């Protein structure tokens, strides 16, 4: 995995070749998604269980999954596998359509509903996602990944207090999860609380599982606070000095915008944690 409210590509998630990391974030209106994945918006990996740098499936594997799904659209697990393969080749709308078909045939399959809801977040259909995700788990048995996806959808709609409540609930189940902390920190930034955003993102970056996307989010907030040297130091953990300097220059331009508070309020439209 707001995927991450900051979206980072697979190549950017690797150690090298990130010259446009922060620049890409700025170009996207500081949009995320936590990461490609809704539940990891800011760290954003993928739909449940798929790493951010997952290998792209071969064409014949996708065709094989398509045949299996078309032969039995009621098979929820095949639908999930097929949708995952489609996502890996950036066929986001098609993946969501596959999951929708299967979910309509399996309205009580919470795993399938969760996958479908996350795909709707990634496709930008946030209101629909919220409705679907509400049925993907129960208050008596909450799933932190679903809570994170609900937070991502809410954040993308500008409902930051609601998003934060979802992330906080998820953190009670999964304490110190870097993707959750990263998403929560970005939501604080969207609420213009940059001090709390920095504090939360530093906590996220200190976790053993934190990756370059989490640190990029921290650097972004530091840049918005005008602390460009600190932002560059964070970026240099994952970039060359030249790449870090290029990205900090983008942050300087963003921070200098006279309507920055207004632009911050639009940071929630994606990504996908």
pLDDT digits (tens, 9 = 90+) for 71-130: 999 999 999 999 999 999 999 999 999 999 999 999 999 999 999 999 999 999 999 999
pLDDT of the residue at 256: 84
**Coil, helix or strand at residue 35:** strand
**E-only strand ranges, 9-110:** none
Question: For position 153, what pLDDT does the model report?
Answer: 97
Instruction: Answer whether residue 61 shows pLDDT above 60.
Output: yes
Q: List for the chain the helix, strand, coil content (%; round to 5).
A: 60, 0, 35
- Note whether residue 190 is domain-resident: yes
Confidence of residue 41 (pLDDT cuts 50, 70, 90): very low
188-211: b or e for each residue (b if 16 or more CB lie within 10 Å)? bbbbebbebbbebbbbbbebeebb
Evaluate if residue 208 carries a pLDDT over 50. yes
Q: Does residue 212 fall inside a structural domain?
A: yes
Determine contact, residues 171/184, Cβ cutoff 8 Å.
yes
Query: What are the phi and psi torsion angles at 125 (to 5°)?
Result: -100, 70
Angstrom distance (rounded) from CA 178 to CA 175: 9
Stretch 48-59: mean pLDDT: 58
Global pTM?
Answer: 0.78
CA distances in angstroms from 23 to 20, 202, 229, 270, listed in the order given: 5, 21, 17, 15
Q: Is residue 2 part of a domain?
A: no
Kindly report, residue by residue over 132-179, the tens digit of the pLDDT.
Answer: 999 999 999 999 999 999 999 999 999 999 999 999 999 999 999 999
CATH of residue 101's domain is 1.25.40.10
- Tell me the C-alpha distance between 175 and 102, whole Å: 33
Give the pair of three-digit tokens for residue 129.
């996602």
Any domain includes 257? yes
205 to each of 12, 13, 215, 260, how far by Cα in Å? 17, 15, 6, 25
| Least confidently predicted of 53-62, 197-206, 257-266 | 257-266
136 within domain boundaries: yes
271 inside domain = no
pLDDT of residue 227: 96
Can you give the pLDDT at residue 257? 78
What is the mean predicted confidence (pLDDT) over 222-237? 96
Residue entry with tokens 């929630």: 268
CA distance 7 to 28: 9
Provide, rounded to the nearest whole percent, the portion of the chain with pLDDT above 70: 74
Q: For residue 23, what pLDDT band results from cuts at 50, 70 and 90?
A: very low
The sign of the dihedral angle between the CA atoms of 223, 229, 235, 239 is: positive
The pLDDT confidence band at residue 254, using thresholds 50, 70 and 90, is confident
Which residue blocks in 157-240 are alpha helix, DSSP H? Answer: 160-173, 178-190, 194-205, 212-224, 228-235
Which pLDDT belongs to residue 222? 96
Mean pLDDT of 214-241: 95
The predicted pLDDT at position 259 comes to 62
pLDDT at residue 54 greater than cutoff 70: no
pLDDT for position 264: 52
Angstrom distance (rounded) from CA 63 to CA 79: 13
> Is 119 within the bounds of a domain?
yes
| Whether residue 231 has pLDDT greater than 60 | yes
Report the residue count for the chain: 273
pLDDT at 56: 86
How would residue 255 be classed by pLDDT, with cut points 50, 70 and 90? confident
Residues forming a β-bridge with 44: 35
**How many domains, the chain?**
1
DSSP secondary structure string for all residues of 110-147: HHHHHHHHHHHHHTT-HHHHHHHHTTSSBTTB--HHHH
Q: Is there a domain that residue 37 lies in?
A: yes
In this structure, the number of other CB atoms found within 10 A of the CB of residue 107 comes to 9
Statement: residue 245 has pLDDT above 60: yes
> Rounded to an integer, what is the distance from CA 268 to the centroid of its chain?
11
The chain-wide mean pLDDT, for the chain, equals 81
56/140 Cα distance (integer angstroms):
37
Give 51's DSSP letter: -
The residue range of the domain holding 34 is 10-264
């Amino acid at each position: 995995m707001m995927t991450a409210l900051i979206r980072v590509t697979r190549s950017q998630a690797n150690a090298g070749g990130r010259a446009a990391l922060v620049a890409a974030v700025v170009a996207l209106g500081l949009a995320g998604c936590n990461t490609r994945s809704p539940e990891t918006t800011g760290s954003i990996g993928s739909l449940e269980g798929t790493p951010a740098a997952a290998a792209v499936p071969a064409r014949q594997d996708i065709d094989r999954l398509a045949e299996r799904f078309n032969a039995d659209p009621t098979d929820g697990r095949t639908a999930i596998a097929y949708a995952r393969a489609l996502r890996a080749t950036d066929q986001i709308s098609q993946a969501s359509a596959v999951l929708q078909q299967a979910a309509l045939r399996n309205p009580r399959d919470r795993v399938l509903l969760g996958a479908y809801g996350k795909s709707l977040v990634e496709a930008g259909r946030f209101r629909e996602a919220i409705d679907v995700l509400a049925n993907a788990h129960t208050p008596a048995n909450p799933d932190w990944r679903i809570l994170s996806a609900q937070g991502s959808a809410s954040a993308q709609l500008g409902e930051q207090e609601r998003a934060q409540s979802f992330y906080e609930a998820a953190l009670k189940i999964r304490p110190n999860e870097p993707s959750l902390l990263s998403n929560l920190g970005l939501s604080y930034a969207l609420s213009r609380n940059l001090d709390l955003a920095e504090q939360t993102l530093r906590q996220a970056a200190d976790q053993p599982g934190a990756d370059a996307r989490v640190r990029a989010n921290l650097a972004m907030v530091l840049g918005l606070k005008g602390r460009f040297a600190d932002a560059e130091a964070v970026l240099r953990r994952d970039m060359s000095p030249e790449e870090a300097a290029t990205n900090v220059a983008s942050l300087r331009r963003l921070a200098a915008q006279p309507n920055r508070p207004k632009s911050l309020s639009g940071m929630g439209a994606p990504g996908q944690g």
